[in-house]
Structure 1
Amino acid sequence: MKKSLMEKESMDMDLNLLKVFCEIYNTKSLTKAGKILGMSQPTISRKLQGLRELFKDPLFVSKEHQLEPTAKALGIFPEVKQAVEGCYLLFSRSNEPAFKKVIIACSDDFEYFVGPAIVGSFSEKMPEVQVIFHQTNTLGAERKLLQREADFCLTGGGTHSNLVAREGFGFHADVCLYCKEEGRKESKLSLQEYLLRPHISVHYGGGEGVSDEIIRRKEKNRRLVAMTSHYSGLERYILGTKYVALVPLFFARILTQKFPELTYCEMPFKNVLDPVELSYRKDLLRNRFFKDCRQILVDTLSKIDWN
């Protein structure tokens, strides 16, 4: 019987090489593939060189600022993809006896808002399952899924790999959260008031957000006094001060109910709405356990009013 190309080369190849090939093929970029796989530029370049030596072909050539697959790469991609998916399936089957937990990665504001509902749904429908929440954001969600550090991610988008499935549940808006002031009648901050106030920024990656880009286009700047990676404890920065923070509307409602001294208003400029997406590896649903977990998550998230 004639052996397939993947069978002939399997002795000299590991799963990481196959994953590198698939991601370069899908993204047409070493940088993007490296981010998805959590590899540095030198590491993924070495992996590509190893693939080229193994297959005795360039596999990808630079053309108009992206990497295009060669004829050989186009020919072997279906087998490589099948091999990667087969390995994932094998790993999932080998772990079946231990399936008593599901790992959900999300930012802490999402967990604060929908975590109790998710835990309640699992307690009712799959009481034998332990729900574990991990922290992530749009920048880290795809890596967590592909590195098998999480089973599901709930984020504002951020996943692009063909190996990852995505389901949307609407959009949410951001609002200005600040402390009430005695004698103040206005319930909305003007752009000037907003810019004059000191700002607390919540950004998981420690960088600027979309709102900063919008303000900069107006040739304005906000006065940033502190930056934190989590929403938890944000009220401690704002209570009794003039600080203002941009937070999701659903999170602002929770805090203002818990702390009557706080209030919120619409942003004084038009901002983009953030999507709410549930993502997971496509091969995950080949296992009945995770298929049932996904259904519980979908049913729960479909009932949530994000605005």
Structure 2
Amino acid sequence: MHAENLDLNLLAVFDAMFREANVTKAAQGLGLTQSAMSHALNRLRAFFDDPLFVKVGSRMEPTRKAEGMRAAVVEVMSTVRQQILAGARFEPALARRTFTLCMTDMGELVFLPPLLERFKKEAPGCSLRTLQVPLEQVEGLLASGEADLAVGSIRSAPEGLFHQRLFLHSFVTIASTRNKDIGATLTRERFESMRHIVVSLTGHSAESYDKVLEDQGIRRTVAVMTPHFLMVPLLMDRHSDLLATVPRELAEVFARLGTVRMFEPPVPVPQFQLNQHWHPRFHHDPAVVWLRDVMKHTFEHYPHISTQASPPARKSVRTKSR
């Protein structure tokens, strides 16, 4: 073995000669001058003590020795391109991969339509997959790479995750259009006297999305607790006496369907922020960096999202969760 004397760049020359069967075309494909290509080919011939490629008519045909080496060289070059070079950069227009996001059903409603539009224009070979999992599983999924990002209002995110704010949500209260007990406004007295739907991913009211109401001293009668935002209008359709306090953007979607009315809550309710979270293991992963930049660039002005895809921001501000 005298591998230390072989310039591994010459394998690219060998590979190009097999593909093109022409010195000039192979040189162009590698970005070399014809003189440099001929010099490299001569070095290959000297190393293997064989002509490797000989002129037959208008083509440079491989010798028997070159034919015997072909499969190994192709395998090496394929490994370099797919597993080494691909890790150094991410080219969305050429990539074929599935990105996985942990989010709620509300997150799907908010995030997926604009993201699908961006992917269609910028990364047509890539797809999206969503997971809705208990909070305690999020860190493990991000650490293993099974999920690329967790997106949403994760109030008690694990300490080890990075996070970045995307935008702020405000709350409104919704009621069925068939509810005749509520006039043009919703008073605190009426609000506290009615039954409520509460959305909590964990099943605990202390960790519900609208816990801020209790923090403001509001007393509610909870009729049902669910981890699914999209169940809210369905429950209201069957039980018109129910109320729910949900993010404004979600309420507007429900209102457009003509099944609910929106009201300002009876007390001021602070906004809450929607973040993207990722694991430090993938902080510098080119594909995940690209995805984070797309998320930030797409949603930083939500709900005023442009329908025209444009290049994502060069850098995103990354901070660790506190």
The question of a shared fold, defined as TM-score above 0.5 by the shorter chain, is answered with yes
Which residue does the alignment assign to 1:254? 253
Structure whose residues are more often helix by fraction: 1
What is the DSSP-based 3-state SS (H/G/I as helix, E as strand, rest coil) of the residue aligned with 2:267?
Answer: coil
Which residue does the alignment assign to 1:52? none
Kindly report structure 1 stretches of 4+ aligned residues shifted beyond 6 Å: 182-185
Q: Which amino acid aligns with 2:214?
A: I
CA distance in 2: counterparts of 1:179 and 1:230, whole angstroms: 18
Match of residue 100, structure 2, among 100, 103, 107: 103
What is the DSSP-based 3-state SS (H/G/I as helix, E as strand, rest coil) of the residue aligned with 1:239?
Answer: helix
1:1-307 alignment to 2 at 5 Å? 100-136=97-133, 141-157=138-154, 158-162=156-160, 164-181=161-178, 186-208=183-205, 209=208, 211-212=210-211, 214-215=213-214, 218=217, 221-239=219-237, 241-258=240-257, 260-305=258-303
Q: Deviations over 1:44-93 (max 9, x none)?
A: xxxxxxxxxxxxxxxxxxxxxxxxxxxxxxxxxxxxxxxxxxxxxx9x96
CA distance in 1: counterparts of 2:216 and 2:152, whole angstroms: 27
CA distance in 1: counterparts of 2:190 and 2:263, whole angstroms: 12
CA distance in 1: counterparts of 2:100 and 2:191, whole angstroms: 39
Q: Which amino acid aligns with 1:265?
A: F
Distance 1:171 1:137, change over 3 A: farther
What is the DSSP-based 3-state SS (H/G/I as helix, E as strand, rest coil) of the residue aligned with 2:269?
Answer: coil
Q: Tell me the C-alpha RMSD between the 2 structures.
A: 3.0
Distance 1:261 1:149, change over 3 A: same
CA distance in 2: counterparts of 1:230 and 1:264, whole angstroms: 19
Normalising by the residue count of structure 2, what TM-score does the alignment of the two structures yield? 0.58
The alignment covers a number of residue pairs equal to 211
What is the DSSP-based 3-state SS (H/G/I as helix, E as strand, rest coil) of the residue aligned with 2:299?
Answer: helix
What is the DSSP-based 3-state SS (H/G/I as helix, E as strand, rest coil) of the residue aligned with 1:264?
Answer: strand
CA distance in 1: counterparts of 2:237 and 2:244, whole angstroms: 12
Distance 1:159 1:287, change over 3 A: same
CA distance in 2: counterparts of 1:132 and 1:256, whole angstroms: 27
Preserved CA contact (<8 Å) 1:138 1:155? no
Q: Which amino acid aligns with 1:253?
A: E
CA distance in 1: counterparts of 2:231 and 2:182, whole angstroms: 27
Segments of structure 2 that go 5 or more residues without pairing to the other structure are: 1-83, 305-322
Q: Which amino acid aligns with 1:129?
A: C
Q: Which amino acid aligns with 1:232?
A: L
Preserved CA contact (<8 Å) 2:167 2:301? no
What is the DSSP-based 3-state SS (H/G/I as helix, E as strand, rest coil) of the residue aligned with 2:263?
Answer: strand
Question: Percent of counterpart pairs with the same letter?
Answer: 15
CA distance in 1: counterparts of 2:255 and 2:270, whole angstroms: 23
Q: Give the Å deviation of 1:278.
A: 0.9
Structure of higher CA gyration radius: 2
